[in-house]
Structure formats: structure tokens, C-alpha cells
Structure 1
Amino acid sequence: MVMMGLERLVVTLKSKLRSLRPKKPYDKIDKSESMRVEMRSRKAQKLIARTLKIADSPRNRTYAF
């Protein structure tokens, strides 16, 4: 019973401390075209790396005779 009251007190204190912390306002920056190209490029590189890893694994070897 005492533990539940203590837990509730701790949760209340944490939430009050969080609300006292100043929030940092920031301006949302729109993505430029070069940023979009960079993100697509990174996604493509990851996809290629994953595909090559699967293709190079010994389990997926297919031999045409």
C-alpha cells in the first residue's frame, strides 16, 4: 500500500519536472531537393547492399548445368 503511494508520488514529481523544463521551439525546415536525392540514394545503397548480401550467401547458390 505504501509502495503504491510512493510510486504515484514519484510519477507525479517526474511529470511536474518535465513540464517545468523549457521546451525548445524550433522552425521546421522543409527538405530541399538535394536532401531528398541524398535520402533516396542512401535507401538505394542499403537495398543494394542487402540484395548483394543475400545473393552472396551460400544457401542461395543456384548452379545451372
Structure 2
Amino acid sequence: MFSYIAMVMMGLERLMVTLKSKIRSLKMKKPYDKIEKSESMRIEIRSKKAQKLIQKTLKIADSPKTKAIVF
């Protein structure tokens, strides 16, 4: 019985060593190559940010808590 338990433990140790080495090798590899943003991508990002800012501003301006300033 003891030898069976020892064999199972040795098998588990080998499995753990194998898994650890595979995890280490995965961490070393880059998952993807970084691409540079083109000018059109930058314009798209800026326009999306501007649209979000406009929506946020309009939401605040249309809220009932906002007081109108009369000149």
C-alpha cells in the first residue's frame, strides 16, 4: 500500500514539474506583435473620444439639476 502511494506522489510531482515548465515557457512568449497605429486609426480614436465627451456634456446639460444661466 505504501509503495502505491509513493508511486502516485512521484507521478504527481512529475506532473507538477511539467506544468510549471509549460507555464514558464508560455510567459516567455509574446502573445502578439504590437502594431503601430495608422493616422486613420488615430483620427477614429479621437473622434470616438470627442463623441463620448459630447454625449456626456449633453447629458449633464439636459439633466433637471442643471440650472440655466440667463444673461
Pairwise same-fold verdict (TM > 0.5): yes
Taking only the aligned residue pairs, the percentage that are identical comes to 63
Q: How many residues align?
A: 52
Q: Out of 14, 29, 33, which is 1:27 matched to?
A: 33
Q: Where do 1:1-65 residues align within 5 Å?
A: 16=20, 18-21=23-26, 23-62=29-68, 64=70
Moved over 3 A (4+): 20-25
Unaligned runs of 5+ in 1: 1-12
Q: Which amino acid aligns with 1:59?
A: K
CA apart distance, 1:20: 4.7
Look at both structures and tell me which one has the larger radius of gyration over its CA atoms: 2
More divergent stretch after superposition (21-30 vs 31-40): 21-30
Aligned residues: CA RMSD:
2.8
Unaligned runs of 5+ in 2: 1-15
**What TM-score do you get using the length of structure 1 for normalisation?**
0.61
